[in-house]
Amino acid sequence: MKNSTRIGVVIAIILIAVFAALAEWLVIRNDTITKAPNGLITSVEIGGPFTLVDHKGRTVTEQDYLGSFVLVFFGYTFCPDVCPTALGDIAQAIDELNSDSVGVIPLMITIDPDRDTPAVLGEYVPLFHDRLIGLTGTRKQIKEIADLYRVFFSRAENTQFTYYLMDHTSFVYLLNPEGKVVSLFRYGTSPEEIASNIRRHMRG
């Protein structure tokens, strides 16, 4: 790879990180988020019904996950840095919970449905945790659920490359057994803190 190409890749990744951070501020502003005993909470209404397809090809809805705590992350399999890190943190948090993890379901919802088919997700999600579930759908379905969770995403076009990257927000959402978002975790929140917050919600 030529030096100019390497520099272009680095610049593209930096710009994506900057735009993602800006998008988080715009979509879920700091003045809507407060610190609570059980973690970050927001005054903005987040979440709602959906119909998607999991990495085993099964059609699922939000109803399939009621009765459990659910960790939700929006990402994509071609993501070079943020997604693998966030999913690794989620996996560590699940392991940190030990026996309490039985009541927790981790989900990754793709924001790149054109490439992230059930088969692609089926190869990707087990790399992080055997209980991680990958969800995909049509462009319309993904746009609808992203809007419900106030997730920003867009395709970052660059004619220098034969592939494309995605700009996107990087919150991890915690849903309670009733399907309500009860905590938000910013990118970089430690697995220990995520696990601790989940335990506190479990114990009321």
In the chain, where are the structural domains located?
3-202
Bridge partners (DSSP) listed for residue 40: 35, 184
Residue 201 · residue 97 · CB < 8 Å: no
CA neighbor of 193 nearest in space, from 25, 38, 84: 38
Residue 144 φ then ψ, to 5° = -65, -45
For 96-123, write each residue's pLDDT tens digit. 999 888 899 999 999 999 999 999 999 9
What is the number of other CB atoms lying within 10 angstroms of the CB of residue 49?
11
Residue 136 · residue 118 · CB < 8 Å: yes
For 165-178, write each residue's pLDDT tens digit. 999 999 999 999 99
How do strand 51-54 and strand 133-136 relate by DSSP bridges? antiparallel
The count of residues in the chain is 204
Residue 84 · residue 108 · CB < 8 Å: no
Pick the CATH number of 3-202 from 3.30.70.2740, 3.40.50.2300, 3.40.30.10, 3.60.70.12: 3.40.30.10
Q: What kind and span of H or E run contains 199?
A: helix 191-202
Residues 87, 132: Cα–Cα separation, whole Å = 9
**Mean pLDDT of the region 144-149:** 96
pLDDT band, very low/low/confident/very high, at 159 (cuts 50, 70, 90): low
pLDDT band, very low/low/confident/very high, at 37 (cuts 50, 70, 90): very low
Structure tokens at 26: 């715009």
